[in-house]
């Protein structure tokens, strides 16, 4: 299992389009991936779950992956969430 704290750098936070892209990144991996913000923990492969978090730019989340490609999964999610474009 790999766990990492990541600060959201996406300009407008995790709205509809960024959440859809995050789910695409997560679904490329076999590992189970969860994103935790405050007291909520959701499956990173669930659009509705991620939308329920309402994460804004600058907030910190904890990403946890468990499975055969867990390190790559966390690395790719960090790369996506850290993008300042």
17 has pLDDT over 70? yes
C-alpha span between 5 and 43 (Å, rounded): 16
Identify the pLDDT of residue 13. Answer: 86
pLDDT at 83: 80
Please report the pLDDT score of residue 73 as a whole number: 98
Q: What are the φ and ψ backbone dihedral angles of 64, each rounded to 5 degrees?
A: -125, 130
Virtual CA dihedral for 38, 42, 43, 49, nearest 10 degrees? -120
42-72 per-position pLDDT tens digit: 999 999 999 999 999 999 999 999 999 999 9
Whether the pLDDT of residue 78 is over 80: the answer is yes
Whole-structure pTM value: 0.92
Instruction: Give me the pLDDT at residue 84, please.
Output: 66
In the chain, where the domains are located: 2-81
Q: How many residues does the chain have?
A: 85
Cα separation values, 66 from 17, 20, 69, 83, 84, Å? 26, 21, 8, 23, 27
Q: Does domain 2-81 have CATH number 3.30.1340.10?
A: yes
Q: Which residues, in sequence order, are bridge partners of residue 42?
A: 35
């Amino acid at each position: 299992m790999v766990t990492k704290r990541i600060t959201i750098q996406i300009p407008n936070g995790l709205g509809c389009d960024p959440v859809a892209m995050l789910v695409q990144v997560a679904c490329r991996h076999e590992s189970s991936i969860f994103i935790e913000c405050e007291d909520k923990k959701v499956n990173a492969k669930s659009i509705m779950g991620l939308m329920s978090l309402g994460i804004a730019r600058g907030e910190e989340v904890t990403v946890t992956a468990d499975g055969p490609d867990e390190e790559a999964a966390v690395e790719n999610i960090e790369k996506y969430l850290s993008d300042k474009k």
